[in-house]
C-alpha cells in the first residue's frame, strides 16, 4: 500500500523501477541503431536535472507567474490527484442525459403576462451528480427563449430547440405565452430543484450553444472551468460537495457519504418523486479519462498551484506564429488554438514521486510562502542529494536563516506536500539540458514527437520557456501520426492486430523496421501489418543485393591506383554517375524538408531501375570478359565505387546496420576510409561535364533498349532464342528518332546485351518482327550468326580453334 510507505522509501522503489526500464529502453534503442550519448543520458530523476527544474520554477515565481488558488481542475478519483490537460485521454462513455425543471417563483418580474402561472426553466445535463453543486443557469445573450404552456405549467427554454426537447421529454408544448431574448432574463431567479432554499440566478455566457440540450445550461462552478469563470464574473459562490475520493462530503444534504454514482441514482429518484425530472435517457459521447488508470475523471474545485499562462499567453501565441517552423504546417494552427483557449496551468499534483513544489506554509498565519530565495535554498540541497532531501529534511534544515514567515514573522513553517506536474518536469528539459550542456545549443534545432504532444511536451515546453525567457525553446517542431494496422484501424490486443517491434526485429532484423518508418509519410497515421513488412523486406533485399553485386564487381580494385576520373570514363559510366547525382540532390533536398520517405523511395527506384535493370546488367560483360586492367573495366569499377560510396552513405540514416556492414567491406578495399560510415560526410554530387544533356541523351538509348527487351521476350517465347546473347537485332531508324544518330551499333549491342545490333532503314527477313506499342519502334530478332564463345557467350564468326572470340582470345593470351 503506497499510502503506508515512508515517502523516502517509496521514492527509492520508484527510482529503482525507473532505472530498470531506462536500461531496457536503452538496449532497445541501441538494437534499433539509434545513435545517442547512451553513457551520458539526461533523466528527469537526476539530481542536477531536478535542481535545474527548481531553478526554472524559481524564475517563474520571481516574475509572479506562480500562484495558489481554488479552481475546478481535472481530478482522478482513483489516483486522487489533479491532472493537466496533457494527462487526459478522450474515450467514448455512456452517460445519463437528463432534463430538469427549476421553478421561477417570481416570473411576473420577467413579464406581467406570467403572473400567477407555475413557470419553470428546463436545464439539461449529462452529469446529474453535479446537481447538488448547481449554483446558476447560463443563457445565451441573443438567443430567443419562449415560454410554452404544457398542462397546468409553463416551461421556458430556447425556441430553436423545441422539437428536440419535445422528443426527449415526451411533453407537447402548446400555446406560446411569451418570447424574450436571453438578455431579458439576466439576473432573474429560479429555485434549486431539490434544495428549494437555494436561489439560482440566471446568467449570460458566450459558450451557450443551440446544438443540443435546452439552451439553458446547468452551472456548477466547482465542476467546470466555464461554469467557474461565469460564476466568478457574477460573484456567485463556488460550492464543492465532492471529496478527493469521489464521494459526497458527509454534510451534503440528501447524498452525504454516497459515491457519485450512488448519489446520482438517489438524486434522480428524488427528482422523479417531486416531478422535476422531465426526461431521462442514455447517450454515448467523448469523455475525459485519466491517462494512467484509464478511469473517467471529474472536474473538481480544489486548492492547487497554477502558472498564470494568461499573463504571457499573447507572447506565446506570437512565438507560435512567428518564431517556430511547424512541420507539417497544420501543427501551427493546432497548437495555436490549444494555447489560445487553455486556462492557467494547474501545476500541482497530489503525489510523492516527482519534484516537490518548494513552497512552505506558516503555522501561525497559514499563508503560503513561495519566494525565489527560498526555492534556491532548497535547490542546493536537491542538487547534492536529489529530491528525497525535501522529504527527509525539516524546513529548518532546508532553509536555514530563511525559515521565517515573510508575512507575520512566524518561525514555525511546514512543507508543501504536492509535487509538480510531470509535464513541468519534461517541459523544463530546455533549461535543464540545453542550457547546461556546452555541447548543445538553445533553442533546440527541433523537437520531434507524435501529434498528441501539441497538448503535451510541445506545449508545456513552450509555456515553460516563454514564461521564463520570453522565447520558444525550439526553432522547429516536427509531428508524426499514430501507428495503426494495415486497414487504418487503431491497434489493440483485443482485436489481435498488434504488430510489436521486437517481433519484426526477430524475424527480419532492425533495418527492416527502420525502412518501414522511413518509407511512410509520417504526416498521416502510419500503417503497419505483416504484409506491409513482408513487401518492404523485398525492397530491402533488392537494395542489399545491389550493394552486394557492386562489392563483388570491385575485386582487385584499388581506388588510389586504379581510379579513373569522370572525364576519362566511358559515357555509360558518366551517365550512371549523373543519375546518382540526381538521387543525391533529390535525397538532400527531401531530408532538408524532412520528407524522409522521398529519399528512401528514390534510392530504391535507382537500385531497381537504373542499376539492376540496366547499368549493372549491361556492365557484366566488361567486368568479366575484359582485361583486368583495361580502361573499360577500370572505368566501370571506378563508377561503381563512387556509386556504392554515395548510395551507402545516403542509406546510413535508415539502414544503419546494413550500411555499416557494407562500409566495413569497402574498408577492406580502401583501408584509408573512416573507421565507421557514421564518421564520414554526406555524399556530394560528382562533377560531370554536360551532365543534364547526358541524361537526356541516354533517355533515348533506354527507350530503344526497352523496345528491344520486349522484342527479345517475343523471340524467346517463339523459341528462336534462349538467352539474349543468342540474338542478333535490327532496329529501324525511322521509329527510333535521334537515338540512331546518337548511339553506334556497338553501343546498342552492349546496352541491349545481344551478340549483334544493327541500325537499318528497313528490317530484313527476321525470325520475329516486333512493333513496340509504347514507342512505335520496329525491332527484328533472329538467331545470332556464328559460334558461341565459351567464355563470354557472345556469338562470333571469327573464333579461334578453341571457339574463343577475338576479344577473349586476346585477353587470355596477354
Question: According to CATH, where is 3.30.2320.20 located in the chain?
Answer: 712-783
**CA torsion through residues 346, 352, 356, 359, sign:** positive
Q: Is the pLDDT of residue 798 over 80?
A: yes
Every domain range in the chain assigned CATH 3.40.50.620: 2-67+311-480
Across residues 651-661, what is the average pLDDT? 95
pLDDT score for 624: 92
What's the pLDDT band for 494 if we cut at 50, 70, 90? low
**Phi and psi angles of residue 259, each rounded to the nearest 5 degrees, phi first:** -70, 165
Q: Which of 86-95, 134-143, 247-256, 490-499 is modeled with the greatest confidence?
A: 134-143
Strands 348-349 and 419-420: antiparallel
Q: Is 712-783 assigned to CATH 3.40.50.720?
A: no
Homologous superfamily, domain 2-67+311-480: HUPs (3.40.50.620)
Q: How far apart are CA 618 and CA 570, in angstroms?
A: 13
Once rounded to an integer, what is the mean pLDDT over residues 402-428? 94
pLDDT at residue 530 greater than cutoff 90: no
Higher pLDDT, 402 or 737: 402
What is the structure's pLDDT at 2?
61
- Mean predicted confidence (pLDDT) in 704-715: 93
- Has domain 81-300 been given CATH number 3.90.740.10? yes
Architecture of the 506-689 domain: Orthogonal Bundle (1.10)
pLDDT at 246 over 80: yes
Cα 19 to its chain centre, rounded Å, is 26
pLDDT digit string, tens, across residues 287-340: 889 988 888 888 888 888 999 999 999 999 999 999 999 999 999 999 999 999
| ∠ Cα 335 337 341 (to 5°) | 120
- pLDDT recorded at residue 165: 93
**Quick one: pLDDT at residue 1?**
58
Distance in Å from the first CA to the final CA of the chain: 88
pLDDT tens digit string along 601-622?
999 999 999 999 999 999 999 9
Before 213, cis peptide (omega within 30)? no
Q: What is the pLDDT of residues 738-756, one digit of tens each?
A: 899 999 999 999 999 999 9
For residue 413, is pLDDT > 80? yes
145-199 pLDDT tens trace: 999 999 899 999 999 999 999 999 999 998 999 999 999 999 999 999 989 899 9
* Three-class secondary structure of residue 259 per DSSP: strand
How much is the pTM? 0.79
Burial 132-163 (b: 16+ CB within 10 A, else e): bbbbbbbbbeebebbbbebeeebbbbbbebee
Q: What is the pLDDT of residues 195-215, one digit of tens each?
A: 989 999 999 998 898 988 999
Q: Give the mean model confidence (pLDDT) for residues 386-403.
A: 95
Mean pLDDT for 256-266 is 89
Give SS3 for 327: strand
Residue 3 has pLDDT above 70, yes or no: no
How far apart CA 342 and CA 666 sit, in angstroms, is: 56
pLDDT at 85: 77
pLDDT tens figures, 556-588? 999 999 999 999 999 999 999 999 999 999 999
Q: How far is CA 547 from the centre of its chain?
A: 33
The Cβ of residue 472 has, within 10 Å, a number of other Cβ atoms equal to 25
Is the model's pLDDT at 68 over the cut of 90?
A: yes
pLDDT in tens, 762-773: 988 888 888 888
Return residue ranges of the chain for CATH 1.10.730.20: 506-689
Q: What is the mean pLDDT of the chain?
A: 92
Amino acid at each position: 500500500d503506497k499510502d503506508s510507505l515512508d515517502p523516502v522509501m517509496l521514492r527509492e522503489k520508484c527510482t529503482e523501477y525507473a532505472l530498470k526500464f531506462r536500461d531496457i529502453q536503452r538496449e532497445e534503442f541501441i538494437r534499433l541503431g539509434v545513435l545517442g550519448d547512451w553513457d551520458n543520458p539526461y533523466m528527469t530523476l537526476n539530481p542536477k536535472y531536478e535542481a535545474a527544474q527548481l531553478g526554472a520554477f524559481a524564475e517563474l515565481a520571481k516574475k509572479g507567474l506562480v500562484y495558489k488558488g481554488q479552481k475546478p481542475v481535472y481530478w482522478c478519483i482513483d489516483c486522487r490527484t489533479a491532472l493537466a490537460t496533457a494527462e487526459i485521454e478522450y474515450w467514448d462513455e455512456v452517460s445519463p442525459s437528463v432534463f430538469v425543471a427549476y421553478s421561477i417563483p417570481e416570473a411576473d418580474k420577467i413579464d406581467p403576462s406570467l403572473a400567477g402561472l407555475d413557470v419553470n426553466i428546463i436545464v439539461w445535463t449529462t452529469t446529474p451528480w453535479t446537481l447538488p453543486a448547481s449554483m446558476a443557469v447560463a443563457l445565451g445573450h441573443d438567443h430567443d427563449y419562449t415560454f410554452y404552456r404544457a398542462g397546468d405549467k409553463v416551461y421556458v427554454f430556447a425556441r430553436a430547440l423545441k422539437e428536440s426537447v419535445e422528443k426527449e421529454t415526451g411533453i407537447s408544448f402548446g400555446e406560446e405565452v411569451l418570447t424574450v431574448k436571453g438578455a431579458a432574463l439576466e439576473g432573474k431567479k429560479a429555485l434549486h430543484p431539490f434544495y428549494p432554499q437555494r436561489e439560482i440566478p440566471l446568467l449570460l455566457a458566450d459558450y451557450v450553444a443551440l446544438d443540443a440540450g435546452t439552451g439553458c445550461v446547468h452551472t456548477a462552478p466547482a465542476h467546470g472551468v466555464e461554469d467557474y469563470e461565469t460564476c466568478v464574473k457574477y460573484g456567485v459562490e463556488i460550492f464543492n460537495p465532492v471529496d478527493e475520493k469521489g464521494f459526497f462530503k458527509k454534510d451534503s444534504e440528501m447524498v452525504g457519504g454516497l459515491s457519485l454514482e450512488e448519489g446520482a441514482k438517489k438524486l434522480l429518484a428524488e427528482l422523479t418523486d417531486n416531478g422535476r425530472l422531465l426526461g431521462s435517457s442514455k447517450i454515448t459521447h467523448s469523455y475525459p479519462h485519466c491517462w494512467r488508470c484509464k478511469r473517467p475523471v471529474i472536474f473538481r474545485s480544489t486548492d492547487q498551484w497554477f502558472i498564470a499562462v494568461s499573463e504571457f499567453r499573447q507572447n506565446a501565441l506570437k512565438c507560435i506564429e512567428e518564431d517556430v517552423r511547424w512541420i507539417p504546417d497544420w501543427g501551427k494552427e493546432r497548437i495555436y488554438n490549444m494555447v489560445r483557449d487553455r486556462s492557467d496551468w494547474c501545476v500541482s499534483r497530489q503525489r510523492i514521486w516527482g519534484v516537490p513544489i518548494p513552497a512552505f506554509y506558516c503555522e501561525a498565519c497559514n499563508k503560503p510562502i513561495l519566494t525565489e530565495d527560498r526555492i534556491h535554498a532548497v535547490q542546493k540541497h536537491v542538487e547534492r542529494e536529489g529530491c528525497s532531501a525535501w522529504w527527509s529534511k525539516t524546513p529548518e534544515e532546508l532553509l536555514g536563516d530563511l525559515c521565517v514567515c515573510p508575512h507575520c514573522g512566524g518561525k514555525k513553517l511546514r512543507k508543501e506536500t504536492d509535487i509538480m506536474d510531470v509535464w513541468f518536469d519534461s517541459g523544463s528539459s530546455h533549461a535543464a539540458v540545453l542550457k547546461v550542456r556546452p555541447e548543445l545549443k538553445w533553442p533546440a534545432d527541433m523537437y520531434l514527437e507524435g501529434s498528441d504532444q501539441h497538448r503535451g511536451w510541445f506545449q508545456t515546453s513552450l509555456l515553460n520557456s516563454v514564461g521564463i525567457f520570453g522565447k520558444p525553446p525550439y526553432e522547429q517542431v516536427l509531428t508524426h501520426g499514430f501507428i495503426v494496422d494495415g486497414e487504418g484501424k487503431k491497434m489493440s490486443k483485443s482485436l489481435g492486430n498488434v504488430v510489436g517491434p521486437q517481433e519484426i526485429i526477430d524475424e527480419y532484423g532492425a533495418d527492416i523496421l527502420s525502412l518501414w518508418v522511413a518509407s511512410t509519410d509520417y504526416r498521416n497515421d502510419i500503417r503497419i501489418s505483416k504484409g506491409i513488412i513482408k513487401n518492404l523486406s523485398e525492397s530491402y533485399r533488392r537494395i542489399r543485393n545491389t550493394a552486394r553485386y557492386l562489392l563483388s564487381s570491385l575485386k582487385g580494385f584499388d581506388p588510389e591506383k586504379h581510379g579513373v576520373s569522370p572525364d576519362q570514363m566511358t559515357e555509360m559510366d558518366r551517365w550512371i554517375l549523373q543519375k546518382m547525382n540526381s538521387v543525391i540532390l533529390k535525397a538532400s533536398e527531401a531530408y532538408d524538408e524532412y520528407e524522409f520517405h522521398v529519399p528512401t523511395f528514390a534510392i530504391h527506384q535507382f537500385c531497381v531501375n537504373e542499376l539492376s535493370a540496366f547499368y549493372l546488367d549491361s556492365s557484366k560483360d566488361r567486368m568479366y570478359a575484359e582485361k583486368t586492367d583495361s580502361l573499360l573495366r577500370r572505368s566501370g569499377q571506378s563508377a561503381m565505387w563512387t556509386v556504392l560510396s554515395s548510395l551507402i552513405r545516403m542509406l546510413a540514416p535508415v539502414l544503419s546496420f546494413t550500411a555499416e556492414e557494407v562500409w566495413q567491406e569497402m574498408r577492406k578495399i580502401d583501408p584509408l576510409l573512416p573507421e565507421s560510415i557514421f564518421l564520414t560526410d554526406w555524399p556530394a554530387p560528382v562533377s560531370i561535364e554536360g551532365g543534364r544533356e547526358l541524361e537526356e541523351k541516354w533517355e533515348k538509348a533506354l527507350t530503344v533498349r526497352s523496345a528491344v527487351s520486349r522484342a527479345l521476350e517475343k523471340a524467346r517465347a517463339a523459341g528462336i532464342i534462349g538467352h539474349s546473347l543468342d540474338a542478333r537485332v535490327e532496329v529501324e531508324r525511322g521509329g527510333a528518332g535521334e537515338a540512331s544518330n546518337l548511339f553506334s551499333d556497338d553501343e546498342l549491342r552492349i546496352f541491349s546485351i545481344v551478340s549483334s545490333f544493327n541500325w537499318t532503314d528497313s528490317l530484313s527477313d527476321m525470325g520475329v518482327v516486333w512493333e513496340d506499342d509504347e514507342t512505335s519502334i520496329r525491332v527484328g530478332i533472329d538467331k545470332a550468326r556464328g559460334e558461341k564463345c565459351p567464355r563470354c557467350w557472345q556469338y562470333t564468326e571469327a573464333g579461334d580453334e578453341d571457339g574463343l572470340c577475338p576479344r577473349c582470345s586476346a585477353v587470355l593470351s596477354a
